[in-house]
Amino acid sequence: MLNKNDILSTFSALVSIDSPSKGERQMCDYIKSRLDKLGIKYEEDDTGKVIGGNCGNLYAYIDGDKDLEPILFSSHMDTVEPSTGKKAVFGKNGLITSDGTTVLGSDDLAGVTAILEALEEIVNNNISHRPVEILFSVSEETLCDGTKHFDFGKLKSKDAYVFDLDGDIGSAAYTAPTIVSFKATVHGKSAHAGFEPQKGIHAVKAVARAVSEIDCGIFDDMSVNIGRIEGGGATNIVPDLCLCFGEVRCFNHQKAVDKVEEIKSVFKKHADEIGATLDFEEKICVKAFTTSTDCNSAKRFEKACDRLGKKAQFISTFGGSDNNYYANAGIDGFVVSTGMNKCHSTEEYTYDYQLENAAKLAFELMTSDDTIEYFI
């Protein structure tokens, strides 16, 4: 039986390890040590070298009932900043936070904890289970740079559960958006602002006019945001350069691409109006996915939640995850909640019972048998 104290001990140990994006070496080595004790084979790929990090994606496989199809379980090893020196602070009523100066790191160490503890329960107690594949990815927080370079030819699974969603246990995201980032660079011409400003071409003005014309926010199935603007120097010089960074998210891939093209045309119009030039770069970070809520993967999740006394809820999310890549590789995947809250902030928190339930959920999914009786 899964032990709550063991789960909390594992979570606390993981949180105490610094694991920023592209700096997951210590985290990966700790996870390897846990897998070694269980006799689970693993391999680390060379993604770290490709993306300029110190660690690759960690893939593991454990044999199970040969009559059952394997399932992929996934979570990521990196955490967002500020994360150096983070530690888990245990408060009243099971509340777990950081000390307020860093993130807690439950995103996604709650997921790592759930998978490790479920594996430990199965192996140490010789419990019958299905074949299980595990992928602990790197640099997920930098728009899934790690999974992007993983060799999907290694995977045998047709179903996946990505333990990387906020909210209460029982929630699972079945759809997530395409994310397209863009960078608009306007080149103007410098001039002395006091003596001959008319000879300059004001790059900042072109960007300001463009941004004022672009509606930001959430509009039905799409979100648009301008996140950063850089430009200018001394106050007495007409700025000859201005950069603008933004992104578009949409559950419809083509609509996201089309929206970025529309934004590009707005920047070009305002650059042309004042005689400036425009360089525009765009990058598809992840592609949208939608997984049917009638597939076996969904039914298995519903049954597992039912066994925990939870009602499964399939939701949409505007966040990207490794599942965007799994889904586009032909795997029916869901992003499941691990009980983390206020992620990417120093106010991040979770509860001890949420960590326990996340581990129980992973265990239930790993030991599911897919018989007709199981789904009844």
- Report domain extents, the chain: 4-176+288-375, 178-286
d(CA 298, CA 302): 6
Return the CATH number of 178-286, one of 3.30.70.360, 3.90.1150.10, 3.30.499.10, 3.40.50.300. Answer: 3.30.70.360
In this structure, what token pair is assigned to residue 234?
Answer: 């001394």
Q: pTM value?
A: 0.91
Please name every residue paired with 238 in a beta bridge, in sequence order, or none if there are none: none
Determine the pLDDT at residue 38. Answer: 97
Determine the pLDDT at residue 133. Answer: 98
Determine the pLDDT at residue 369. Answer: 85
Q: Residue type at 46?
A: D
Q: What is the CATH number of domain 4-176+288-375?
A: 3.40.630.10
Across the chain, which has 376 residues, the per-10-residue mean pLDDT values are 96 98 98 98 97 98 94 98 97 97 97 98 96 98 94 95 97 97 98 96 98 96 97 96 98 98 98 98 96 95 96 95 94 96 97 98 93 55
Determine the pLDDT at residue 371. Answer: 62
